[in-house]
Structure 1
Amino acid sequence: MSFFAQLSQWLADPNRWSWTDPAGIPFRTVQHLWFSALALAISIVLTVPLAVCLGHYRRGQFLASSAVNIGRAIPSFGLIILFWFLASRWGANTDFWPLLLALVALALPPLFTNTYAGVVQVEQEVVDAARGTGYREWQIMLRVELPLSSPVIVAAARVAFLQLIATVAIGAIVNDGGGLGRYIVDGFALGEQGHGEIFGGGLAVVILALVCEGLFALLTKLATPRGLALQQARRDS
């Protein structure tokens, strides 16, 4: 059977477009997004408050630079295998925890580093002006530094989320769910007869990543304070 015939047959499966069947593209897309979004939410809770606090007091520069190096050095697949091994030894759910913990570990470095850098880059004159009007330190962090650094934080979330989407697909090797990556793994298991499924699964992952990229670009625009956006527009013009 030719490649295009395989792909057509795979797409023509009546359950391929089901929201409830585990073999359906919509079902696995939701599963893919759920893992990615959950890991991103946990990473934001763990990193953003700490990075904002350290950036406000101008502490933790070594930690921020170390996070960059750690983020570049961590092999995503190696983390998944490591957490799978630990989960299997401890009797934990190997279909959930290994992939989730690996995703969180991958998202932490870029979120922490960019949030810290965004807060540090806020002009000191603005911070001093807020302090002079009677703002407490926590108010400066929440009402001044966090809004002004929000475009950088959202940009970090976008980079982390796209990395998470790619890693969820890889995680299908050790995860019975695995989102859209399950098609790729199952296709390889079929050998030559699975080329259509491999291509379909890979294309679905690419489309999902592009859609998420566009949504985050819109979110970045919405998260930019009006005054900061006008200032950037004047610089560009």
Structure 2
Amino acid sequence: MNPIEQAVVWLNDPLNWTNPGGVLDRLGEHLSISVAAVLLGCLVAWPLGLWLGHTGRGGGMVVLVSNVTLAIPTLALLTILPLTFLGFGRPAVVVALAVFAVPPLLANAYTGVRQVDPEARDAARGMGLSGGQVLRRVELPLAVPYLAAGFRTATVQVIATAALASFVDGGGLGQIIRAGFGLDIAAGGGQIIAGGVLVAGLAILAELLLAVVERQVTPGPLRPARRRANRRAADATAGG
């Protein structure tokens, strides 16, 4: 059989799914790593992006932080962080992937606040709201669609990149690919392809599900403007 036929056979073998260390176990590891990394990225990027957007003075900093984090190869972080107090395993993987998740989260949080209608902001201040109240009651609710867009991008990127966790004993679906490389290419080629298909399929599924969520939290009149702003944010995170 050629490698593609081997991959089909491998994926259709129930034991490859249910055995210890099989697809279901690795899928659970992959999801837990990805969720933890994205949430950690949100805890860092969203407060910073919202605050910089509120003050209106952080555009250059957003671009700088995004460029710096994008310039650091994830694989390099995955090999360096295990040598620190984090050690080998999931903590180092989660931190490395969280760094990778920061640029889209930060850029979209900043963009979301800056896209708020200045008249709405001025009206809130005219009603006596403080700066913090304006951010919480006016700017943050209107920025939710942008936060959802950044969350969607970061999640898909992290899920796709989490396959590298296997290089530092971090688990996940990448272990299936790594195990395939440990075999003779004639025997392991199908497993390598199967692992790649599983990672790609999970990333595509996340993209589709989060696209629906993003659409639901975006009011109809704001969708064209939000798409334009997302493109500008993507340009900024790519290096402006």
The TM-score range, normalised by the shorter chain, is 0.7 to 0.9
CA offsets 1:71-130 (integer angstroms, 9 cap, x no match): 3312111111111222xxx4x441112211101111122211221122112121110112
Q: CA deviation at 1:32?
A: 0.7
Cα distance in structure 2, aligned partners of 1:78 and 1:13: 35
- Among 25, 28, 40, the alignment partner of 2:26 is 28
* Alignment match, 2:108: 114
- Provide the identity percentage: 36
* Alignment match, 1:80: 78
* Alignment match, 1:194: 188
Query: How many residues are paired up?
Result: 225
Q: CA deviation at 1:176?
A: 4.8
Letter in 2 for 1:201: G
Letter in 1 for 2:38: L
Contiguous gaps of at least 5 residues in structure 2: 228-240
The root-mean-square deviation of aligned C-alpha atoms, in Å, is: 2.2
Q: How does 1:156-235 map onto structure 2 within 5 Å?
A: 156-177=150-171, 179-192=172-185, 193-224=187-218, 226=219, 229-232=220-223
CA offsets 1:144-170 (integer angstroms, 9 cap, x no match): 111212212211111111111122101
Give TM-score scaled by structure 1 length.
0.86
Does structure 1 residue 45 correspond to structure 2 residue 43?
A: yes
Cα distance in structure 1, aligned partners of 2:30 and 2:222: 38
Cα distance in structure 2, aligned partners of 1:218 and 1:159: 13
**1:66–1:137 distance in 2 versus 1, CA, 3 Å:** same
Q: CA deviation at 1:232?
A: 4.4
Deviates more, 1:184-193 or 1:9-18: 9-18
Letter in 2 for 1:11: L
Deviates more, 1:205-214 or 1:23-32: 23-32
Letter in 2 for 1:166: A
Higher relative contact order (CA 8 A, sep 6+): 2
Cα distance in structure 2, aligned partners of 1:2 and 1:231: 50
Q: CA deviation at 1:27?
A: 2.1
* Alignment match, 1:60: 58
Structure 1 residue ranges (4+ consecutive) displaced by more than 4 angstroms after TM superposition? 231-234
Cα distance in structure 1, aligned partners of 2:189 and 2:164: 17
Q: CA deviation at 1:17?
A: 2.4
Q: CA deviation at 1:139?
A: 2.1
**3-state SS, counterpart of residue 16 of structure 1:** helix
Work out whether residues 71 and 110 of structure 1, in 8 Å CA contact, stay in contact via their aligned partners in 2.
Answer: no
Work out whether residues 8 and 194 of structure 2, in 8 Å CA contact, stay in contact via their aligned partners in 1.
Answer: no
Contiguous gaps of at least 5 residues in structure 1: none
**1:54–1:202 distance in 2 versus 1, CA, 3 Å:** same
Give TM-score scaled by structure 2 length.
0.85
Cα distance in structure 2, aligned partners of 1:168 and 1:216: 18
Q: CA deviation at 1:214?
A: 0.6
Work out whether residues 95 and 176 of structure 1, in 8 Å CA contact, stay in contact via their aligned partners in 2.
Answer: yes
Work out whether residues 80 and 99 of structure 1, in 8 Å CA contact, stay in contact via their aligned partners in 2.
Answer: yes
**1:117–1:8 distance in 2 versus 1, CA, 3 Å:** closer
Letter in 1 for 2:10: W
